[in-house]
Amino acid sequence: MTSSEDFAAYIAGLPRVLSGAAALFRDAGGRVLLVEPNYREGWALPGGTIESDDGETPRQGARRETLEEIGLDRAIGRLLAVDWVYMPTWPPLVAYLYDGGVLTEDDFKAIRLQEEELLSWRLVEREELAEYLPGALGRRVLAALEVLAEGAGTAELENGHRVG
């Protein structure tokens, strides 16, 4: 084999890691915008898989997914959290969570759900987030809200728990 064939075989043998990106949108009262997928139980944030095969960055993925899922084409704010999520039955996931900002009444009126994937949306108080977002996702959102309250920084997480 040539060295380029060796390198290609090496790359093909590396572990697979999934990557996803989402945006954290809030209203003026601090409630968090959640969406209800139709392909699984529970609630989520607007976001999804990063199309890295096309060269998409996490930030671009969060913006694209926001446009696709809720019809809002908005600049994505700063990175609030990065979470390494490991589950024995799935490849590891690196989840990026960006600040989507505070939406106005006009923004909420402009929301158009992607009917192929979403059933509904709602605003949820911080105290109720764990009921709607169990596990690592709920902890990730709470950590991101803490980062917003602190005014700076990014939360480094493993399965939704702060590290570092």
User: What are the extents of the domains in the chain?
Assistant: 17-162
Q: Supply the pLDDT for residue 5.
A: 82
Largest distance between two CA atoms of the chain? 62
Q: Supply the pLDDT for residue 143.
A: 98
CB atoms within 10 A of CB 81: 27
Using one digit for the tens of pLDDT, what is the confidence trace for 75-109?
999 999 999 999 888 889 999 999 999 999 999 99
The pLDDT confidence band at residue 133, using thresholds 50, 70 and 90, is very high
Q: What is the mean pLDDT of residues 127-141?
A: 96
Q: What is the mean pLDDT of residues 58-76?
A: 97
Q: What does the mean pLDDT of the chain come to?
A: 93
Spatial CA neighbour of 24 closest among 140, 114, 128, 118: 140
Q: Supply the pLDDT for residue 1.
A: 55
Q: Supply the pLDDT for residue 83.
A: 98
pTM: 0.91
Query: Residue 25 in contact with residue 97, Cβ under 8 Å?
Result: no
Q: Supply the pLDDT for residue 90.
A: 83
Residue 103 makes CB contacts below 8 A (sequence gap 6+) with 25, 26, 27, 33, 72
**The CATH fold of domain 17-162:** Nucleoside Triphosphate Pyrophosphohydrolase (3.90.79)
pLDDT at 65 over 90: yes
Beta strand ranges found along the chain (DSSP E): 18-26, 32-37, 47-49, 79-85, 93-102, 118-124, 155-158, 161-162
pLDDT at 23 over 60: yes
Q: Among 14-28, 105-119, 134-148, name the one with the lowest average pLDDT.
A: 14-28
